[in-house]
Amino acid sequence: MSELNPQQETALATFKANLHLPHGGFYALIVELSKKYQLPFQTVRSVVMKAQRGIENSIRTEPDTLSEIDISQAHWRNVIDQVLHDLAKENTQVMDDLANNPSYQKALSAMSQIDSEAMREEVLEWLMQAYEKEVLKPLLAMLRTSPLYWKLMLAEELNQMNESCRSQFHEYPQHVEAAAHLFDLDKKVRAMTF
């Protein structure tokens, strides 16, 4: 790393001071952005860190072209928001993903043919696989060690994702909708008699 001149040192110190985030700091920011853009925690974290490194690199390599605005928290947040906005365009609707999930499709087509306990267990397993892939894992990836993450870990099984449990995740409406739908199907299958 090259030595910084006084102008660069001042700009870097100012930028670092501008990045001060009270009440949970970077972690809280990443969780909030994950929720806002419905992207995994690690994806958001990478974008946040890359934006910071990009501005720090500009301070080191192009100090004469930078203004106070370029080293402000608002600019840094804007850079992050632009990248996350573009990434979020690739998001798909959870219910669409669920409809295309092979385990979900197998469960739906087999529900009307359940005639034994073994068949019921197979359909419940397919519903669980769909829940895991389309609801549980994506939500866990967004929540990453937040208090809600640990609450979600208590609902690893589809039949635990009841209305009371789902209400805790109201800020993730697509996932709640898919979880409710799968929960209702699970309940229906469990209630079937043959």
- For the stretch 39-82, pLDDT in tens is 999 999 999 999 999 999 999 998 888 888 998 999 999 999 99
The per-residue pLDDT for 1 is 47
Report pLDDT digits (tens) over 19-51.
888 777 889 899 999 999 999 999 999 999 999
The per-residue pLDDT for 13 is 87
Q: What is the dihedral of CA 132, 133, 136, 140, to 10 degrees?
A: 130
Assess whether 147 and 119 both reside in one domain.
yes
Give me the number of domains the chain comprises. 2
Assess whether 24 and 66 both reside in one domain.
yes
Nearest to 55 by CA among 82, 28, 75: 75
Assess whether 76 and 132 both reside in one domain.
no
* pTM of this prediction exceeds 0.85: no
Last residue within a domain, chosen from 88, 116, 150: 88
The per-residue pLDDT for 2 is 61
Assess whether 32 and 69 both reside in one domain.
yes
Assess whether 129 and 43 both reside in one domain.
no
Cβ neighbours of 44 (radius 10 Å): 25
Q: CA of 59: how far to CAs of 52, 70, 111, in Å?
A: 11, 9, 61
Residues in the chain: 194
The per-residue pLDDT for 99 is 98
Overall average pLDDT of the 157-186 stretch:
95
Expressed as residue numbers, the domain containing 52 is 6-88
What does the longest C-alpha to C-alpha distance in the chain come to? 81
